[in-house]
Structure 1
Amino acid sequence: MAKEYILCVDDDRTILMSLKAQLRHLFGTAYCYEVAQSAAEAWEIIDEIYDDGDHIAIVISDWLMPEMKGDEFLIGVHQKHPDIVKIMLTGQADPDAVQRTEEQANLECCLSKPWTLDELKAAIPGTDIRKIS
């Protein structure tokens, strides 16, 4: 049976660990969780997950990262895997970048740092029908 993943991408390791802990609290073992500190590392993880026959349900990406901004990354994810839910996480996103990502990557939502657990829960589609502790 194929595994479902949530992938979190941020250049700040503390943010990644916080996100992963909150997602585990919300969803438990319903998903597997992966983290990446850059878009390049995220692409490696995405390719590996799909090569193994598994699936990524959700990608949560920071906007301001070195080398590739989150909007570019999420647009690329959408072009290759349009069924993945895309969420942007940011402390300082350019409104034009958010709009471009909404239009070109079907962005589910943009969460501002710092976010709350309720905001994270609300950002993920279908959470009203999932068992959440």
Structure 2
Amino acid sequence: MYKGAILCVDDERIILESLKNQLGQEFGKEYIIELALSADEALEIIDDLQSESVSMLVVISDWLMPGMKGDELLLEIHQRMPQVAKIILSGQADESSIKMLHEKVQLQKFIAKPWKAEELITIIREGIRHG
């Protein structure tokens, strides 16, 4: 039985596959690892998980994506589920948006791409523990 879900959102499939491999090795036996190529897809996955009574624990999102950007997505998620740990993983992000996310949605961390797997895993563990 899974204890909850971790959602990764990025418009680059190669990034999502890398995250799935890294997180799957570390968390795959305990948590569902979900992948979304867009903010809209992420919100659909969240709705599906909620309908199945699966707790969303952590959302890791890119910032610069077509359509809805990562900051808008995390604001939407925070309104629905303020307890979810929120992480931005991005090669580029607007500094003022990151500051706003820290203030408005209690952004757990901004991590620059390329990331270190150990750092990301540590941050996810902290998010799960405090969520």
1:28, CA displacement in angstroms?
3.2
Alignment of 1:1-133 (within 5 A): 3-126=3-126
Cα distance in 2 between the residues matched to 1:122 and 1:98 = 20
Cα distance in 2 between the residues matched to 1:51 and 1:2 = 15
Aligned sequence identity (%):
48
1:3, CA displacement in angstroms?
4.3
Contact between 1:2 and 1:55, CA under 8 Å: does it hold in 2? no
Contact between 2:6 and 2:33, CA under 8 Å: does it hold in 1? yes
Cα distance in 1 between the residues matched to 2:114 and 2:47 = 30
| Unmatched 5+ stretches in structure 1 | none
Q: Supply the AA of the counterpart residue of 1:117.
A: A
Contact between 1:6 and 1:32, CA under 8 Å: does it hold in 2? yes
Q: Give the aligned CA root-mean-square deviation in angstroms.
A: 1.6
Cα distance in 2 between the residues matched to 1:122 and 1:91 = 20
TM-score, normalised via structure 1 length:
0.90
- Bigger Cα displacement from structure 2, 23-32 vs 46-55: 23-32
Q: Give the 4+ runs in structure 1 shifted more than 6 A.
A: none
Aligned length: 128
Cα distance in 2 between the residues matched to 1:121 and 1:33 = 13
